[in-house]
Amino acid sequence: MTVYGSFPASRPRRLRVNPAMRRMVAETRLHPADLILPAFVREGVAEPVPISAMPGVVQHSLDSLRRAAAEAVAAGVSGIMLYGVPEDAKKDAVGTAGTDPDGILQAGIRAVREEVGDELIVMSDLCLDEYTDHGHCGVLDQQGRVDNDATLERYAEMAQVQADAGAHMVGASGMMDGQIGVTREALDAIGREDVSILAYTAKYSSAFYGPFREAVGSSLKGDRKTYQQDPANAREAMRELALDLEEGADMVMVKPALPYLDILARIADEANVPVAAYQISGEFAMIEAAAEKGWIDRDAAIMETLTGIKRAGAGTILTYWATEVAQKLGR
């Protein structure tokens, strides 16, 4: 009773009185197994190369990639998503290095499998952008436009080469119409029904990809707005979801994560397969930069954002902090 009258018996603050109480009633819990580590492997380097826009993240050598994979396993991380960074001289109009059995991504896949076997799900980026001299995710036609169906032929070959190298899962990230169905047919054609497909179902054309372009040595000219989703659209993501599920996607993903939590929640409500989200390079860089300035608490911000992504519906989260966070969470 106060001088202003009585209040209802229900007082939510009772369940916030101390850390033990808050921990007991927490509705969302992060676990190391929720996390996937994105990693870059660069051709022709003997030591890791720091990425200036992503403090603490590097372009790995094959040896340092092996160490990173082993560290992730020890921390309880579930998987690693690999991106290849070829030498500039090997880039061409159709991304030949991406389908070379001895290309840097395939070498990275083999190195990780040799190091950790099946203890870590090895995922591979199924896209051409790292390997093309124009930096687009597909083959260009005579007018300089990305040719959807010609690109699908390249993706099919990439999927087979990555599977042969040892990938457990391919990450279909190019946002070409029909990419999941073509990839599934290509894998099945070589008897690799066991290799699964992560569909980048809602991959938006985002301003937050900037640091990633440095990480993969992008040669992009122009933008990707004709194939990545428009940030203004939500129903479009649900259409993409229906198509990816019909074509045989084993998992679906929203990328970026934080600006699209509404999309993530809608997809999580509708999907009948596991749902992932990618906390991308720009999201990572903003927190690291603000923390370096002393403007935010770095560790608290990391955990808050990851908790928010999981609360919105992600069962799996790709984050550059995967190993660090897993080590803090414990098994």
Residue that has been written with the tokens 């560290």 in this structure: 71
Average pLDDT, the chain: 94
- What is the reported pLDDT for 224? 80
8 A C-beta contact, residue 66 and residue 45: no
Of 282, 303, 329, residue with least CA distance to 54: 282
From CA 273, how far away is CA 245, in angstroms rounded?
A: 8
If 0-12 CB within 10 Å is exposed, 13-18 middle and 19+ buried, where does residue 104 land? buried
Average pLDDT over residues 241-269: 98
8 A C-beta contact, residue 220 and residue 136: yes
Average pLDDT over residues 93-99: 93
8 A C-beta contact, residue 185 and residue 163: no
Q: What is the CATH number of the domain that holds 166?
A: 3.20.20.70
User: What percent of the chain stands above pLDDT 90?
Assistant: 84
- What is the reported pLDDT for 227? 84
pLDDT tops 90 at residue 210: no
SS3 labels along 276-324: EEECCHHHHHHHHHHHHCCCCCHHHHHHHHHHHHHHCCCCEEECCCHHH
CA distances for 185 relative to 109, 169, 190, 212, 248, angstroms = 22, 14, 9, 30, 10
* Domain tally, the chain: 1
From CA 99, how far away is CA 165, in angstroms rounded?
A: 11
If 0-12 CB within 10 Å is exposed, 13-18 middle and 19+ buried, where does residue 140 land? middle
pLDDT tens digits for range 260-309:
999 999 999 999 999 999 999 999 999 999 999 999 999 999 999 999 99
From CA 125, how far away is CA 165, in angstroms rounded?
A: 13
pLDDT tops 90 at residue 18: yes
pLDDT tops 90 at residue 6: no
Structure tokens at 160: 């087979």
Question: What is the Rg, in whole angstroms, of the alpha carbon atoms belonging to the chain?
Answer: 21
From CA 90, how far away is CA 254, in angstroms rounded?
A: 31
- What is the reported pLDDT for 10? 83
Distance between the two ends of the chain, CA-based, in angstroms? 46
pLDDT tops 90 at residue 8: no
Tell me how many degrees the CA angle 55-57-62 measures, rounded to the nearest 5: 155
Q: Please confirm whether the linkage preceding 256 is cis (ω < 30° from 0).
A: yes
Of 181, 179, 182, 173, residue with least CA distance to 202: 173
The answer to whether residue 5 is domain-embedded is no
Q: 130 vs 317, which has greater pLDDT? A: 317
pLDDT tops 70 at residue 1: no
Q: How confident is the model at residue 135 (pLDDT cuts 50, 70, 90)?
A: confident
167-199 burial, b for 16+ CB within 10 Å, e for fewer?
bbbbbbbbbbeebbbbbbebbeeeebeebbbbb
The answer to whether residue 8 is domain-embedded is no
Average pLDDT over residues 158-175: 97
Bridge partners of 38, per DSSP, are 81
Q: 40-44, 134-138, 185-189, 290-294: which range is least confident on average?
A: 134-138
The answer to whether residue 14 is domain-embedded is no
Q: How confident is the model at residue 331 (pLDDT cuts 50, 70, 90)?
A: low
Side-chain half-sphere exposure of 135, counting CA atoms within 13 A:
12
Q: Determine the structural domain holding residue 143 and report its residue range.
A: 29-329
Q: How confident is the model at residue 13 (pLDDT cuts 50, 70, 90)?
A: confident
The answer to whether residue 11 is domain-embedded is no
pLDDT tens digits for range 68-79:
999 999 999 999
According to DSSP, the β-strands at 58-60 and 49-50 are antiparallel
Secondary structure of residue 253 in the 3-state scheme? strand
The answer to whether residue 238 is domain-embedded is yes
The answer to whether residue 276 is domain-embedded is yes
The answer to whether residue 21 is domain-embedded is no
Active site residues: 203, 255
8 A C-beta contact, residue 286 and residue 53: no
Q: How confident is the model at residue 89 (pLDDT cuts 50, 70, 90)?
A: confident
Q: What is the pTM of this model?
A: 0.94
* Distance of alpha carbon 3 from the chain centroid: 55
pLDDT tens digits for range 33-62:
999 999 999 999 999 999 999 999 999 999
The answer to whether residue 186 is domain-embedded is yes
Q: 260 — phi, psi (to 5°)?
A: -130, 35
